[in-house]
Amino acid sequence: MKVNKVDHICIAVKNLEAARKVWEPVLGKTEPDDAYIDEPEKIRVARYWIGEIGFELMESTTPDGDVARFIEKRGEGVMLVSLNVDNTREAMDELEKKDYPLIGGARPFRDCEFAFVDPRKMNGVLLEVIDYPWKEFEEKE
């Protein structure tokens, strides 16, 4: 599996607006570069571009969401590291062959797919592989 780059890092937060007030001055931003709600994942996200890497603050939209459960168990903090790959499904196949257990299957996001590696295999870190195309950084003609 070829890793192209770190795609993004996610910070689980209880209150997205409060977290923005903490992080935006440090990041040199006044608002997210990309703010969205992902209903299937039960999250509200403020994404910032740091170079060509996404830095995300994630708040659960429901008490039973993965982010809410993470915070309940571990508190706020780094929840996920995502690696950009050329093809998520090929990466999944390769990871499974190398005994890296996946959580569920491929999940859709915008015009790509992502999948999670069980954090018990990854020193407690939820690892994501994603084939996000990063069109945001293509040169405009």
In a domain, 141, yes or no: no
What is the residue range of 23's domain?
A: 3-135
Q: What's the pLDDT tens digit per position in 57-100?
A: 999 999 999 999 999 999 999 999 999 999 999 999 999 999 99
Give the pLDDT of residue 69.
Answer: 95
Q: Does residue 138 surpass a pLDDT of 80? A: no
Q: Which among 128, 10, 12 has a CA at the least distance from the CA of 70?
A: 12
User: How many domains does one find in the chain?
Assistant: 1
In a domain, 128, yes or no: yes
The CATH number of residue 123's host domain is 3.10.180.10
Give the pLDDT of residue 141.
Answer: 46
Q: What's the pLDDT tens digit per position in 121-135?
A: 999 999 999 999 887
19 DSSP assignment: H
The whole-model pTM stands at 0.89
| Residue 137 half-sphere exposure toward CB, CA atoms < 13 A | 10
State the chain's mean pLDDT as an integer. Answer: 94
Overall residue count recorded for the chain in this entry = 141
